[in-house]
Structure 1
């Protein structure tokens, strides 16, 4: 028996980064990119390395380039931590596991270090494979928390629930991480939105390397923890933008959401230290009339455009920056 499970990249449409601060967001899955985890029964438990886990290099420049692209850790730690966390969950819930062993391997074509949730895609796909192998049904609303715990608790990677919710639920989801709900039951309200209500969207990402989320969120988190009025107010504002975009989508006004996406980024630009490469992407998109904001923590942007003529202008503007652009596939082909 060979089990193959997938999870896809994602884009935060609006509201981020408030998801990690009891806010609200809308996110959608990007089927153009994803991770695949393959699991099959073997005599011993084995996790096979991917290319990004290798330790042999052609020369010193090859090593330096590899570290800049993938960091000091590949995907093996993600798989090991997921298996461990899954075992902990089953033990806590009193779920017996059979004694058969397996081999895990993974592949991913999610662009690294550009805020499209490549790491959590690997974890999510691994969790799905483990659930099938052991015939364990983890409730849908619990799965994002389990994926998040792999990163937060096992690996010490700061992250919020947004990525994990959309990668578990897929499609387009409005998420409300209300503090009362989160503290009472540990998860928010997740509302599925019909993807056909979305206006034409693009996603663009740099082919250069971006600063990782672990660095990007550090200062804001500490300021939030200190209760700084400016940061607390910003989180409420981002959450409000997500609520307004949801209302516009549901009322058939999806083509009017562009200014709110711009507002989402403009507030972020005032509060965060954002590199010139990232602001250049946003400015290039806006120069042809499209809206633009980060999909996540930097390195990729999402926005609306009017028609194919404007999309062609986006392609031209981004090509001058060495930036790739796609029309995201949200639904299954």
Structure 2
């Protein structure tokens, strides 16, 4: 029997990138793209490579193009580290695992290195497959921690919990990474949200702007730990914006949500260096009347629009600059 599991890209609505700094955020996952993992029993444990793991090319240009698109690492290291962390978690917690071996492989349609949490989606799908194969139950808040430990602990990728929480819950979530709660329990305070109270969202992305999340977080982490007043004030304000956004959702105050999302990016731009291409994409979107902010670390943006006329105008303007625009299909728990 082949076990097939899925996970989805994440869109950060408000509050990012404060999740790694005891802040607050709101995020959801959407099913326009997908990370798929297949696992089935075999005599030996094998991790199968995907297209992104190729080491044979027709020439140097193909190699250079591949690195520009996908970076230097494919998904094999994600699966290998996931299996290791899963095994160690079960061993540490006295969860018995039988001696069966398996073959595991992955495939992902999530655009790479655009701040859509494609790596953690592959890891989350891997954990789901391992859980099902061995009959292990892991609560979503713990699963999110394990996925983060794969990236941050095993692979040295600077990241926060937000993406992994949204992917573990597979539902829009308000996340409060309160320091006391985090230090005493190891995870934040998570509240599922009613997606019907969201405004109309679009997501736009330009593949040529890709860069890893570590580009943002490495600089911000150093400044946060140094106690940079500008960064500390920004993190506090991002938390306030998140709380205000949740209150606006309850009132269905779409204008307020529009303005809060814009402020989130404007504060980020003041606090963190942003590439001209990313700034141009945000300003281009805003020129059509929509709100715009990063979905993650850059390369993709999210915002609100009022009606179909505004959305169609946005798509036309962005398409002229080689920027794709989609309506996210928000995943919610049944």
State whether residues 108 and 122 of structure 2, in contact with CA within 8 Å, keep that contact through their aligned partners in structure 1.
yes
Partner of 1:121: 121
Q: Flag structure 1 segments of 5+ consecutive residues without an equivalent.
A: none
Partner of 1:306: 306
Task: Deviation per CA, 1:170-215: give whole Å up to 9, x if none.
Answer: 1211000000000000001110111111111000010214221112
Q: Distance in 1 between matches of 2:23 and 2:298?
A: 19
TM-superposed CA distance for 1:251, in Å, is: 2.3
State whether residues 69 and 209 of structure 1, in contact with CA within 8 Å, keep that contact through their aligned partners in structure 2.
no
The ranges of structure 1 where at least 4 consecutive aligned residues each deviate by more than 4 angstroms after the TM superposition are none
TM-score by length of 1: 0.98
Q: Distance in 2 between matches of 1:209 and 1:15?
A: 22
Question: What SS is found at the alignment partner of 2:245?
Answer: helix
Q: Distance in 1 between matches of 2:9 and 2:281?
A: 20
Partner of 1:321: 321
Q: Distance in 2 between matches of 1:121 and 1:10?
A: 8
Q: Flag structure 2 segments of 5+ consecutive residues without an equivalent.
A: none
The residue correspondences of 1:1-333 to structure 2 (distance < 5 A) are: 1-331=1-331
Task: Deviation per CA, 1:212-240: give whole Å up to 9, x if none.
Answer: 11122211111100001110010000011
Q: Distance in 2 between matches of 1:12 and 1:170?
A: 13
What is the RMSD computed on CA atoms of the aligned residues? 1.1
Q: Distance in 2 between matches of 1:330 and 1:241?
A: 22
Q: Distance in 2 between matches of 1:259 and 1:195?
A: 19
In the superposition, relative to structure 1, how do residues 331 and 219 fare at CA in structure 2: closer, same or farther (>3 Å)? closer
Question: What SS is found at the alignment partner of 1:28?
Answer: strand
Question: What SS is found at the alignment partner of 1:203?
Answer: strand
TM-superposed CA distance for 1:255, in Å, is: 4.7
Question: What SS is found at the alignment partner of 2:30?
Answer: strand
Q: Distance in 1 between matches of 2:39 and 2:28?
A: 27
Say how many residue pairs are matched. 333
Task: Deviation per CA, 1:4-44: give whole Å up to 9, x if none.
Answer: 00000010000000000000000011110110000000010
TM-score by length of 2: 0.98
